[in-house]
């Protein structure tokens, strides 16, 4: 009989597995990092500010949005505003953390606190799929998040130097890297029409409705919560 609460393992091998599973996402991360670096120099950030934002915020969409609000003179109110907008864009991390919490139960708090710093969309998705396939090693989450963090910072610097020299990425559809990569990974999360179609469909419809009605990024969290509630209410699979 399996232990109801097995301690999660975190090994070096797991980290390496996570880094390897992350490989397909890395070109997209580099391109996105280059784009952020280039955009940040145009908005007046210093090199140190651009690099440190990538290092300690480490969340591309919110970094890009913050550039829209960047200014030369910062009031306390402007700082609070940029923090709130950042939290809104990154609220999806709250839901992602909720899905991996059962996995982290029993692990040391400091280890979880460290591990969660590196949580990003792609590492979460890779770790979720790995776990859905029976994996136990939480190093997969850490390894995939860390290699992406290193490359994110590494790509910010040349992007900053190149400034506006970065060629138009739309020609190569590079602006679509993340949705396309997400879709291909989500294919492995599919659990059949009965278990997946209804909650995913509700999530998509609610997200579209909220996107049409509410400005900003609230649609992600609203749609995802609607899908989760649908899943909770759905009849027990026989």
Partner 1 sequence: MPYGAVAAIAAMALATYLCRIAGVLIMSRVRITRPVERALGALPGSIVAATIVPIALRSGAPAIVGIAAAIVTMRLVRNELAALLAGLGIAALARALGL
79 binds partner 1 (CB under 8 A): yes
Three-state DSSP string of the chain: CCCCCCCCECCHHHHHHHHHHHHHHHHHHHHHHHHHHHHHHHCCCCHHHHHHHHHHCCCHHHHHHHHHCCCCCCCHHHHHHHHHHHHHHCCHHHHHHHHHHHHHCCCCHHHHHHHHHCCCHHHHHHHHHHHHCCCCECHHHHHHHHHHHHHHHHHHHHHHHHHHHCCCHHHHCHHHHHHHHHHHHHHHHCCHHHHHHHHHHHHHHHHHHHHHHCCCCHHHHHHHHHHHHHHHHCCCCC
Map residues 183-202 to x or -, x wherever contact with partner 1 holds by CB under 8 A: xxxxxxxxx---xx--xxxx
Residue 213 interacting with partner 1 (CB under 8 A) = no
- Burial (Cβ within 10 Å: 0-12, 13-18, ≥19) of residue 94: exposed
CB of 5 to partner 1, least distance (A): 10
Residues 43-72 that bind partner 1 (CB under 8 A): 45-46, 49, 52-53, 56-59, 62-63, 66, 70
Q: Does 1 bind partner 1 (CB under 8 A)?
A: no
Binding to partner 1 by residue 32, rule CB under 8 A?
no
Q: Does 207 bind partner 1 (CB under 8 A)?
A: yes
Please tell me the count of residues contacting partner 1 according to CB under 8 A: 104
In this chain, which stretch among 8-16, 134-142, 156-164, 172-180 interacts with partner 1, using CB under 8 A?
172-180
**Binding-site member from 119, 142, 146, 147 for partner 1 (CB under 8 A):** 119
Tell me the window of 10-18, 135-143, 155-163, 164-172 that interacts with partner 1 (CB under 8 A): 164-172
Decide if residue 173 touches partner 1 (CB under 8 A): yes
CB of 34 to partner 1, least distance (A): 16
Name which of 3 and 236 has its Cβ closer to partner 1.
236
Residue 33 near residue 155, CB atoms below 8 Å: yes
141 binds partner 1 (CB under 8 A): no
| One of 12, 105, 194, 214 touching partner 1 (CB under 8 A) | 105
Q: Is 30 near partner 1 (CB under 8 A)?
A: no
């Amino acid at each position: 009989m399996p232990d109801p609460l097995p301690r999660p393992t975190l090994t070096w091998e797991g980290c390496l597995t996570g880094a390897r599973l992350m490989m397909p996402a890395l070109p997209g991360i580099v391109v996105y990092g280059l784009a952020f670096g280039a955009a940040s120099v145009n908005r007046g950030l210093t090199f140190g500010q651009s690099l440190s934002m990538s290092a300690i915020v480490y969340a591309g969409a919110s970094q890009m949005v913050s550039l829209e609000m960047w200014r030369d003179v910062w009031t306390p109110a402007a700082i609070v505003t940029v923090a709130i907008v950042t939290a809104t864009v990154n609220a999806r991390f709250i839901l992602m953390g909720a899905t991996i919490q059962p996995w982290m139960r029993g692990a040391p708090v400091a280890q979880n606190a460290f591990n969660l710093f590196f949580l990003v969309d792609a590492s979460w998705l890779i770790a979720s799929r790995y776990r859905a396939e029976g994996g136990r090693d939480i190093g997969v989450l850490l390894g995939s998040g860390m290699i992406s963090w290193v490359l994110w910072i590494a790509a910010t610097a040349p992007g900053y130097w190149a400034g506006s020299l970065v060629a138009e990425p739309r020609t190569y559809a590079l602006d679509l890297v993340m949705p396309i990569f997400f879709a291909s990974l989500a294919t492995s999360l599919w659990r059949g029409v009965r278990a997946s179609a209804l909650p995913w469909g509700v999530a998509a419809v609610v997200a579209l409705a909220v996107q049409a009605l509410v400005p900003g990024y609230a649609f992600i969290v609203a749609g995802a919560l609607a899908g989760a509630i649908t899943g909770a209410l759905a009849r027990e699979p026989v």
